[in-house]
Amino acid sequence: MRNRPQTWKRIGAAMNNRSRLFIGFAVVCCVSCVLDALSTENTRPKTNTISLEEVLSVGTLDDDTLFQWVGITVDPQGRIYVTDGMDYSIKKFDADGQLLKKAGRRGQGPGEFLAPRLLTLSDTSLFVTDQNVPGIQVFDHDLNFLRRMPIKIPIGDIHALAEDRIAAVALSVDRPGCIHVYDLGGKVQKRIRYTFKKKASMMDWVEITFDSQDNLFVLYNFQDRIEKYDADGTRLWSRPLLDIKKMRTKKIGPWEVPEKILFKDMVFDSCGRLYILGGGFSKNPGRDVYVLDADGDRLATFQLPESSHCLYIDANDFLYSRANDGITLKKYRIRWPEM
Amino acid sequence: MGDEEGKVLQKLDRKMNRTGTIIILALLSLVILGFGVQALEAGACERAFVNCMDEPIQRGNMLWIVYCGNGYAFCLKYID
């Protein structure tokens, strides 16, 4: 017993610098892990108890129902419409996930696709974009091709409005950010500018959605910013969500492009709550969903079971997201905690 | 007794060095492999973007570059 302190002293003396370095490294790792856990705990919203109950799964690894679905919209009866990028088609499923119809094939003609992406539904029409072909193709609800809206500008996001009008984000790298509202013939009815810089860039690309009062919400893909505009296009507020000050960019060829996407998608539920899907800067990229009220205050955060590129909530407040890298579409019931 | 204790201490020191080296190597490989996966994914979007801009017929066409950028943004959205 008397010798113990002396033994420790000798062990200490016998340890060379490498051992001390290793122990130091281990201690630093432990402290950093503890600090990280503590900071996550502090930033976690108090009402983080939203859960998702799976009610439907469409497409499996063993069938060819979906190859790589991209865009989604759902009608009031729960029928699901998706674009399937790898199948060059649009597909319509009933509320139980049974395929009702498929339309489209590879090509650039009427009703054909090279890279079908976004789709949105009005009372009478289904609007579909193609990443590599200009314009918006219009189908009826039974997926019959009706016409192509002749729009030359590449489109970032679309949202169907009343009276068969459609709002579209006009993408540009040399003009200020602008949202165009088109009629069915492809004529611009209204322009809403959301940036006022002389020269815009990819950093100004956005997602859009509208609330029930026709207020426009603009979510930046590559900036920590969300904005609300009234029906006349006047900005009501602009605020950050994650307090990320600077986005890292990199040079690809002559172009400065963002390295990561900050926000991927946003959608309203029937109660006017806004759900935002986080990207590469979120703790769980493609899975963290931030829920905001109409003033942009955060109500809650929850996680999707699997990473998704998009988020959709239908008229009955069912949430849809991706699984199996786009081979599967999942439908969930959102369970809010009892207040 | 003193000699024996010295040998034990030397053995202990050697053992600690070996264990430390193994752990550090394991940590380093984890970090490198982790970044490797990210680089592979990010690299796929970059490569597609560069290839798109290199399209001979479209070179220098501003509108085409926006289409390429749209593809890059979609790629980040899908895999990030």
Q: What pLDDT score does B23 carry?
A: 59
Confidence of residue A252 (pLDDT cuts 50, 70, 90): confident
- Superfamily of domain A44-335, CATH level 4: TolB, C-terminal domain (2.120.10.30)
**CB A148: neighbour CB atoms within 10 A?**
18
State how far the Cα of A187 lies from the Cα of A101, in Å rounded to an integer: 30
| Contact yes or no for A170/A205 (Cβ under 8 A) | no
Cα of A26 vs its chain's centroid, Å: 38
Confidence of residue A220 (pLDDT cuts 50, 70, 90): very high
| Contact yes or no for A308/A287 (Cβ under 8 A) | yes
Which range among A196-210, A273-287, B29-43 shows the weakest confidence by mean pLDDT? Answer: B29-43
- Calculate the average pLDDT of chain A: 88
The verdict on a CB contact (< 8 Å) between A174 and B16 is no
Q: What pLDDT score does A43 carry?
A: 44
- The structural domain count of chain B equals 1
> Taking CA atoms, what residue in B is nearest to A260?
B76
Confidence of residue A268 (pLDDT cuts 50, 70, 90): very high
The verdict on a CB contact (< 8 Å) between B77 and A280 is no
3-state secondary structure of A277: strand
**CB B4: neighbour CB atoms within 10 A?**
8
Contacts of A195 (CB under 8 A, 6+ apart): A176, A177, A204
H or E stretch including A208?
Answer: strand A206-210
Q: Which domain holds residue B26?
A: 2-79
Interface check A3 vs B, CB under 8 A: no
Looking at the complex, report in whole angstroms how far the Cα of residue A339 sits from the nearest Cα belonging to chain B.
Answer: 34
| Contact yes or no for A323/A329 (Cβ under 8 A) | yes
DSSP bridge pairs for A256: A251
Residue B14 has pLDDT above 90, yes or no: no
Is pLDDT larger for residue A175 or for residue A48? Answer: A175
pTM of the entire structure? 0.79
What string of DSSP letters covers A14-43?
H--HHHHHHHHHHHHHHHHHHHHHHHHHHH
How confident is the model over B32-77, as pLDDT tens digits? 433 333 444 558 899 999 888 887 777 667 888 889 999 999 999 9
Encoded amino acid at A311, one letter: L
Nearest partner of A104 among A124, A75, A126, judged by Cα: A126
> Taking CA atoms, what residue in A is nearest to B24?
A22
State how far the Cα of A319 lies from the Cα of A90, in Å rounded to an integer: 20
**CB A95: neighbour CB atoms within 10 A?**
17
Is pLDDT larger for residue A305 or for residue A174? Answer: A305
Interface check B65 vs A, CB under 8 A: yes
Mutate to test the interface with B, among A309, A310, A321, A322 (most CBs of B within 10 A): A309
- Using N-to-C axis directions, what is the helix angle for B2-53 and A17-43, rounded to 10°? 50
